[in-house]
Structure 1
Amino acid sequence: MNLDLVYLLKANIALACFYIMYKLCFSNDTFFHIRRSVLISGILFAFVYPFIVLHSWVKEQKILSNAADYYVELKELVVTSTQADPLSLQSIQGYLFYVYLGISLLLVANFLLKLCMLLRIKFGCKPTQYRGATLYVPRGEMAPFSFFKWIFVDPSRFSDKEIDEVILHEQTHSKGGHSFDLLILEVVKILCWANPFVWLLSREVEQNLEYIADNAVVNSGIDAKAYQYHLVGVASGMPMSVLHTGFNYYNLKKRILVLNQKRSKRITCAKYALLVPVCLLFIATNSIETVTKLANSMVSEIKELPAQLSAAQYLPQVTLPQFMQNDKSEQPVSLVVEKPKAKPLDPNEEIFVTVEDMPEFPGGQRNLMSFIGRNVKYPVVAQENGIQGRVVVQFVINKEGQVADATVVKGVDPSLDQEALRVINKMPDWKPGSQRGNPVNVKYTVPVHFRLQM
């Protein structure tokens, strides 16, 4: 899977888990400012934690079992007896990616349109001073709202008491930088629009910002009952603007219930400490995954073999055509040159699964897949007898970069097993892996799937 998709998947899983935990543990208390910090921090954490790795875990790792070896295997290679299906998983993933990207671009366009509408409203307003506050008076009827330091309200539409409540409400949004929260949510929705929990989190953030502003008005000494009636009178029937925090009708029933809610005891805010082990769990999970997959840094970029692998032959040796002059017949002579075998590994030497600098095939990951794709053949005897299956080959890149101790750890048939071993043993020398600057032995596992086309 592409690294970008893996990253988005991790972020979306974290966002979903965070929303569920928030609703279960934190959504019913009155610690509105703490909740605001938790909401934004949790959303940002979901996008940051995939980059956090506890490096102390990613150190010398011995192979403990065959199960661990199987998990750090290279991308499975599919060898078919006929032309590969043109509608591959790769192409389907590509189509889905472009659909996802297209919808994200539409959301970007919608965001820019909202921003342009907001700027149009702002530049169409005449600024006025009212009791020390700079207000922008919009044309026509519109519910009061704010965007950063801009407060949009028409004082002539309210009584003196009501306008004081409105301005205090909007100043709370403005001075608190609540518009930053909304912009962050817009970006998150563009990136993760397919995740329903993102939209639910957005609603929670907007709702909590209104609780903060309502609470500020009531705490200033304004009568709570009168303010609730004012909320209904101001918000009902008034058109809404966009991309803003405002004195509006948003979830009005819930806001009124919260205004009448008994304040939570301070001791109960200790429950927010639960977030610490949850965050550590996500980081630890990400680090464990890095340990198990670091041995194959190429997993996310390797493509399925696109080549047609219909030819079938078995070559037990590496042949290199060379020509020399025969003194008698003056005819070219073909020499067969066997690749020198790697020296046996010292049984006392440690073999690693993950190291700081992993071995590298000459030319990189794509060249490795290209090499295997060009050389692997489907044995004729296996085709004739309908033999297919998954062969798993395990080998070590030694300190000199040579392929050593190649063995079949899961076989299907001798013909398929030998073919998989032949290609692995034929590989050229790699750049050896190193740990703390010293070359070391590193083990790999490669699955090769031989599949007959019907």
Structure 2
Amino acid sequence: MYVAMYLIQSAVILALFFLVYQAGLRRTTFYRHNRYFLLGALILSAVLPLLPVPSMQAGNTVAIFNYLEGGNNAGAPALPGQVHGTGASTVLFLAWLPLAIVVYCLVALFLLVRQLVQVRRIFSLAGLGTAFFRGRYRYLQIKGLPAPFSFGRTVYYDPEAHDEATLQHILDHETAHVAQGHTFDLLFAAFYCSIFWINPFSYLTRRAMQLNLEFLADEAALSLAGSPTAYQYSLLKQAATRNQASLIHHFSQSFIKNRIVMMNQKPSVTAQRLRYALVLPALALGIGLISATKAPETRYAENSLKSLNDHRKDSSIIERRFPEGKSGYARQISRNCLYPANARNENKWGVVEVEYTVQPDGSITDAKTVKNETGAESLGNELLRQVKLLPGFKADNNAKAETVKLSALFFLDGVSKKDNSIKTDVTIVAYAN
């Protein structure tokens, strides 16, 4: 469950950055600022859900009430075959979740390997041409190369495929990519898209990054071109040839219309830099709202009105005096009961039982832990917290003070031992960290 919640939180954060970029920054000519903004969007969306902010900690707990007649309480692994209705769907999802995570990781691994193959193919071109250096930059002449491109500190081109003016524009453009280190951006975006392949905003952000890098290279090349019009004609000449590798910069890359539009756009005025000053607080507010949203740390399973085992002596008072009866009692506890993080980290599990007294006026008193096999005080405190969260029982002046017990099996998947003989009112299942 943690992995699933991490991916969701990361996707929401990246979506927020991308939408802000599209709405307020995309049309400005502050290309360098936009470059850092988009890189920061990828980095922060991957890092923020991992920070030790309580609401950013993806929950991985599931609370399951035992609604089976006869009081049969199986350990967590046996529940999928026993619970029916809505609960069965929830537990079945949890049972398949590890397999889904494995499949997700295999797809990510395949995509990463594919990116490495692309890099290897690019480096393999080194033996096909003639290389020379200009300062720190390397130029590789390869006859028959479909389209010029750059990767790392090398510009790849076919000197016989272009006239002299066009070739100079190409070299200026690709050298700008090399000089500004744009390959790092593309490699990082490719790595991010491979890991977060299920998030559509990763691909949208990557495309926005590619286009912005073309703007940066065009800006540098135009400053060297004798005529902006001639440079644009050179761009149109090469538009028909496309290199499909996604890890390289090539002069004839798509986005032709957008690039020409931005070349002819008036430079953004200095006052427009205030957009960045406004964007940052807006992003901080949005991320704060995401952080303030409670992660769904608990899932519960219900089955009609069979919420607690009928054989328990406590069930009558719960049915008679608790709001909405046994089903309301079940919902109240299962929606709030968590598996404390410190207990998960220390692999603490077992049965906990608390006891409390219901007074004639409906108030709850004398709550205490009467059994704790886990060795973790936090698990007993968590069950006591559930008692304190109860809204109270209906008043009955003719009744006497009655004692109620609530027992729970805290089951840590992958650590706890299966024991079908354990009988409790509730099972709290979590995945070991």
* TM-score, with length taken from structure 1: 0.63
Call closer, same or farther: CA 1:254–1:447 in 2, change over 3 Å: farther
C-alpha separation between the residues in 1 aligned to 2:366 and 2:223? 69
Partner of 1:84: 79
Identity rate of aligned residues, in percent?
A: 21
Partner of 1:166: 170
Call closer, same or farther: CA 1:73–1:408 in 2, change over 3 Å: farther
Give 1:395 deviation, angstroms: 6.0
**Aligned partner of residue 140 in structure 1, secondary structure:** coil
Partner of 2:223: 219
1:367 maps to amino acid: W
The 5 A counterparts of 1:191-270 are 191-237=195-241, 239-270=243-274
Question: Is 1:280 the counterpart of 2:280 in the alignment?
Answer: no
Contact map agreement 1:207 1:251 (CA 8 A) in 2: yes
Give 1:213 deviation, angstroms: 0.7
Larger radius of gyration: 1
2:226 maps to amino acid: I
**Aligned partner of residue 267 in structure 1, secondary structure:** helix
Aligned counterpart in structure 1 of residue 407 of structure 2, from 423, 426, 434: 423
Call closer, same or farther: CA 1:18–1:394 in 2, change over 3 Å: farther
C-alpha separation between the residues in 2 aligned to 1:74 and 1:103? 26
Call closer, same or farther: CA 1:138–1:9 in 2, change over 3 Å: same
Contact map agreement 1:393 1:420 (CA 8 A) in 2: no
1:223 maps to amino acid: S
Partner of 2:156: 152
Between stretches 248-257 and 402-411, larger displacement belongs to: 402-411
Partner of 2:45: 46
1:201 maps to amino acid: T
Give 1:44 deviation, angstroms: 1.1
1:111 maps to amino acid: Q
Question: Is 1:26 the counterpart of 2:25 in the alignment?
Answer: yes
C-alpha separation between the residues in 1 aligned to 2:97 and 2:244? 40
For residues 220-267 of structure 1, the C-alpha deviation after alignment (integer angstroms, 9 at most, x for no partner) is 243111111111213423544441112123111211111111221111
Call closer, same or farther: CA 1:412–1:123 in 2, change over 3 Å: farther
**Aligned partner of residue 160 in structure 2, secondary structure:** helix
Call closer, same or farther: CA 1:10–1:396 in 2, change over 3 Å: farther
Partner of 1:97: 101
2:80 maps to amino acid: D
Call closer, same or farther: CA 1:175–1:211 in 2, change over 3 Å: same
Give 1:448 deviation, angstroms: 4.5
The 5 A counterparts of 1:327-406 are 364=346, 367-368=349-350, 371=351, 406=387
Contact map agreement 2:14 2:202 (CA 8 A) in 1: yes
**Aligned partner of residue 152 in structure 1, secondary structure:** strand
Contact map agreement 1:240 1:248 (CA 8 A) in 2: no
Which segments of 5 or more consecutive residues in structure 1 lack a partner in the other structure? 59-71, 317-352, 377-391, 428-445
Question: Is 1:117 the counterpart of 2:115 in the alignment?
Answer: no
Contact map agreement 1:393 1:407 (CA 8 A) in 2: no
C-alpha separation between the residues in 2 aligned to 1:180 and 1:45? 17
**Aligned partner of residue 66 in structure 2, secondary structure:** strand
Give 1:145 deviation, angstroms: 0.8
Call closer, same or farther: CA 1:394–1:408 in 2, change over 3 Å: farther
C-alpha separation between the residues in 2 aligned to 1:31 and 1:243? 24
For residues 315-372 of structure 1, the C-alpha deviation after alignment (integer angstroms, 9 at most, x for no partner) is 78xxxxxxxxxxxxxxxxxxxxxxxxxxxxxxxxxxxx9xxxx79669956514xx26
Contact map agreement 1:420 1:448 (CA 8 A) in 2: no
C-alpha separation between the residues in 1 aligned to 2:53 and 2:31? 33
Partner of 2:5: 6
Contact map agreement 1:173 1:179 (CA 8 A) in 2: yes
Contact map agreement 1:142 1:240 (CA 8 A) in 2: no
2:169 maps to amino acid: E
C-alpha separation between the residues in 2 aligned to 1:119 and 1:24? 39
* TM-score, with length taken from structure 2: 0.66
C-alpha separation between the residues in 1 aligned to 2:344 and 2:234? 73
C-alpha separation between the residues in 2 aligned to 1:84 and 1:394? 33
Call closer, same or farther: CA 1:151–1:304 in 2, change over 3 Å: farther
Q: What is the number of residues matched between the two proteins?
A: 342
**Aligned partner of residue 157 in structure 1, secondary structure:** coil
Question: Is 1:409 the counterpart of 2:413 in the alignment?
Answer: no
Contact map agreement 1:19 1:201 (CA 8 A) in 2: yes
Question: Is 1:180 the counterpart of 2:184 in the alignment?
Answer: yes
Call closer, same or farther: CA 1:234–1:361 in 2, change over 3 Å: closer
Call closer, same or farther: CA 1:278–1:123 in 2, change over 3 Å: farther
C-alpha separation between the residues in 1 aligned to 2:287 and 2:262? 35
Call closer, same or farther: CA 1:271–1:256 in 2, change over 3 Å: same
Call closer, same or farther: CA 1:142–1:283 in 2, change over 3 Å: same
